Structure formats: C-alpha cells, structure tokens
Chain A
Amino acid sequence: MGGTYWDETACYAFSADQIDKLEAVSAELHQLCLAAADHVVRERRFAEFAIPEPLQGLVAESWRLREATLYGRFDLSWDGAGEPKLLEYNADTPTALLEASVVQWHWLEDTRPDADQFNSLHEKLIERWQAIRGAAPESATLHFACAKDSDEDLGNVEYLRDCALQADWDAKQLFIDELGWDGRRFVDLEQQPVQVLFKLYPWEWLAREPFGAHLPARSARLIEPAWKMLLSNKALLVVLWELNYGHPNLLPAYFDERRFAGEYARKPLLAREGANVTLQRRLDRVHQPGDYGEEGFVYQGLAPLPQFDGRYPVIGSWIVGDAAAGIGIREDDSPITKNSSRFVPHYFA
C-alpha cells in the first residue's frame, strides 16, 4: 500500500454519551435495513436493485430462511453533535476490519489504557462464529475465499478465519478462483465439499461469472447470504427513505435527481470505496472516477463530512450479527472516502 494508512498522529475523542448515541443509532439503522429487506422481498422490487432474474428467487429464499449474517458496516457522517446521517451500508464485503478490531485496540492499550473504546468487535465476531457454527452441520468445514491479488482482502479474511478458529470451526482458506465445481457442488483444493463459504467477494461479481449459474442450486451456504445483496445496494437508501420518511438518521434518497433543487450525491447502485460517486454542490462538483454505474444510480441528499484541519472523517459503525459492535474512523483529504483513506484510532472517556 502506498502512503500512510494507519495514522496515529491524531485520534478522535468521544464522550460516553456520544458513543451511546452511535451505538443506538447503528442498532436502529440495522433494524430499519432488515425491515426494508423484508419489504423489498415481499413486494418483489428486485428490478430496482438490478438483481438478475435468476438470482431473485435465491435472494427471496435466503431471506425467508433468514440465512445467517456475520457482519456489516454503516458509513456515517457526524460531527459529534446533532444526528448521525447514514451514507451507506457496506453489508456484503466490508473491510478495514482488522484495524478497527485489533490494531486500534492495541493502540488504546499502549497509549490510553485507562480510557475505553467503542470496539468489542473481536469478542463479538468469535461469539457470532460460534452461533453460526451451532446452526451448521456438525462436520462442516468453514471455507474462506477472497480475490488472489488483494493483500488487504486476504488480511481481512485471515483475521476472520482466526476468529472462526477460536470459535472451534475447522476453517480453511483458499482463493476464489481456486473454488472447484464437480458437477454437483463446490469443492475445495482437496476436493472436499464446500458447505459453508465465507466469501469476501461481492455477490454481484459472483452472479455474473461462469460459476454464478451454480449459485441457485444452493449447494453451499454463503456468508454473507444472498439477502445481503439488498442491503449492500444503494437502492436500499431509496427504500429506507420511502419507508421511514423524515427519519433523523436518514438522508432523502431517490432514483430521480430532479427531486433535489441543487445539492446531492450521485452514487452507483453497486460500487465500492467511493468509486463513481459525484458530489454535486452549489458551487462545485467533486467526482471520484471508477468503473461502476452501469446498473444505474441513486441520488442522495448531502450530509457533508465534517472537516477538521483539512481532514474529512467518516465513521464506520460495525454490526456483528444484529448488534452494534464498534467503530473505525477513516479520514481523507477530500470529502469522498476512498480505498486510500487513512485509518485514525479513537477513544472515549
């Protein structure tokens, strides 16, 4: 990675009341998202989410079974006063987990051992893996897969595998392109069936690749499950606003930019790390290039990130299972958070 990523030249100090607020808001937003998923499935609004027809049944069935979710991360805009605003929910392939869970925990131990931190990610992840294991076939191995060429993704996956091993799973790692198909089921490199697969690989990518045709057969249980396609899609923002109009933690969001008089953020339905996001402001426009957007866009009211000495922080608020589990803060020199944005630790007292 080029440039500074872990940045402890600064840190964020919260009050206990502020942490209470973040915890409560995150838990509530998660519940609103679950209700939105239920609505989308019941009303079969899959086309608005650009979910391919062959996968729509898979999403619906996955939701009907309430297939287990491990985690997700809200991105919130908040300056510590008023109401945090939801920017998006990284519900399928959230990263920056190891630094939020482990690295900033050690930073706190080393620098402010008497303070506290909103970060019980590690123990909640282990508990969550234990719960998922309790619902899986007793002999099942948990496989972890990610793209081969991303050290960041591999680091996240290996950390989650670590937590799974501590939850008494037999846990194996392989790369996503190493997954095999034997004609009936997915298999690993030793030809053993893949029954439960944690994949740090977006559902929309799985769906469009050659083995995507095997997904509706449901030979393996995937984590995150198929219904998370609804929550990781920016169309969720529109449905959330529609179902909870005026909610203090939501921003107006529509499929039609004409609903906004002047300022808005244009976001691709499916995108990662700020790619193809445009901030249309009264006096200027900030655009982040990328390769996304062919599925369409949503338009969201602006909640500009606060600015401290030229740094724009976004709060990543983690959900593990259904519980708010901690935060990680990313900073950038621009108002759009990107893959290269710095991670800055926090504490509260």
Chain B
Amino acid sequence: MPQRRRRSAAITLVLAGTISGCSEPVAQRDAYQSLADCRRDWGEPQACEPVRDKRYAPSYFYGPSYYGSSFPDGRPRASRHAMDAFHVAGSPSHTSPGSSSIRRGGFGSSAHSSGS
C-alpha cells in the first residue's frame, strides 16, 4: 500500500511580502469629493483638508491618515463616503473615522512577545 503523504501538497500565500514579520501595516488616507462627505466619515471638520498636492482636483478633500483595512491585493479599502484611498508613509494622525465615544488602549499594556 502506498505510504500516506504527510506534507502539504502545495503552499500558496496571498499576503506575500507582509508575513515576514518585518513589515508593519501602512497608514492610509481617503479622498472625498466634498467636505460634506469627509465630515460624514470623520465628524470633526478639522480632520478634513482641501487637496493641494494635485493628486485629485483641488475641490476634493482629504481625511486624516489612519490604519484601515485592505483588499486581498493590498490596496487600501476606502471609508464609507470616500471615493478613493491611498497609502501614505508615517504614523496615522487618527485611529478611526467617526465619533470619540470609543475608548482604545484597554489591551496591550502587558505586551512583549506573546508567543510560546
């Protein structure tokens, strides 16, 4: 009787490039067609600013940088009322779109390497 195979038949990774453990999530910014759309996602008007870098028309607005989610191919997923999103370098200026009733940082204070 042939011996049963014990190894995986094939290995495919869809997040190639991010699982080395040496890369961190990249912050993103969302682009809005109007200040009203930006405010709908972020609430506070000071979180939105006009586009000045020619990436979009000057009538458009940027939301703040934040860590969002990505599509499987790595493209950032835009917030609900945004029309586009793109990755930016550096730390985010906000943690999430929306209101301030959410508390964060309640986990993580014991952290060093958690594995065993």
A residues at B contact (CB < 8 Å)? 16, 19, 23, 90, 92-96, 98, 101-102, 105-106, 108, 116-123, 145-156, 158-159, 161-162, 165-166, 172-183, 187-191, 200-202, 205-206, 208-212, 214, 232, 272-273, 326, 339, 348
Contacting pair B8 A201 (CB below 8 A): no
Q: Does B1 contact A (CB under 8 A)?
A: no
Task: Give the shortest distance, in Å, between B43 (CB) and chain A (any CB).
Answer: 11
A161 to B14, CA, bound (A): 9
Q: 9 A-B residue contacts at CB 8 Å?
A: A116-B7, A119-B8, A150-B115, A152-B21, A173-B25, A189-B67, A201-B114, A205-B114, A232-B116
Residues of B with C-beta under 8 A to A158: 15, 18-19, 21
Contacting pair B108 A177 (CB below 8 A): yes
From B24, B105, B115, A153 is in contact (CB under 8 Å) with: B115
A152 to B19, CA, bound (A): 9
**Per-position binary interface string of chain B over residues 6-25, scored 1 when its CB falls under 8 Å from any chain A CB and 0 otherwise:** 11110111110011111111
Q: Does B62 contact A (CB under 8 A)?
A: no
| With contact pairs A151-B22, A182-B101, A182-B102 given, residues A176 and B3 touching in the complex (Cβ less than 8 Å) | no
Total interface residues on B, CB under 8 Å, equals 46
A147 to B3, CA, bound (A): 42
Residues of A with C-beta under 8 A to B114: 93, 146-147, 150, 153, 200-202, 205, 272
B residues at A contact (CB < 8 Å)? 3, 5-9, 11-15, 18-25, 66-69, 72, 79, 95-99, 101-116
Task: Give the shortest distance, in Å, between A327 (CB) and chain B (any CB).
Answer: 10
Residues of B with C-beta under 8 A to A95: 113, 115-116
Count, A-B residue pairs, CB within 8 A: 187
Contacting pair A209 B19 (CB below 8 A): no
Task: Give the shortest distance, in Å, between B24 (CB) and chain A (any CB).
Answer: 7
Contacting pair B67 A181 (CB below 8 A): no
What is the predominant secondary structure among interface residues of chain A facing chain B? mixed
Contacting pair B6 A94 (CB below 8 A): no
Residues of A with C-beta under 8 A to B66: 189
| With contact pairs A119-B6, A148-B108, A152-B113 given, residues A180 and B102 touching in the complex (Cβ less than 8 Å) | yes
A289 to B112, CA, bound (A): 15
Residue among B101, B105, B114 with max Cβ neighbours from chain A (10 Å): B114
Contacting pair A118 B95 (CB below 8 A): no
| With contact pairs A148-B111, A176-B108 given, residues A105 and B11 touching in the complex (Cβ less than 8 Å) | yes
| With contact pairs A95-B116, A147-B114, A189-B96 given, residues A117 and B6 touching in the complex (Cβ less than 8 Å) | yes
Contacting pair B7 A190 (CB below 8 A): no
Find the B residue at minimum CB distance from A154: B21
Contacting pair B106 A147 (CB below 8 A): no
A148 to B13, CA, bound (A): 23
Pairs of residues from A and B, 3 with the lowest C-beta to C-beta distance, nearest first: A155-B21, A95-B115, A211-B106
Contacting pair A116 B25 (CB below 8 A): no
From B15, B21, B68, B79, A151 is in contact (CB under 8 Å) with: B21
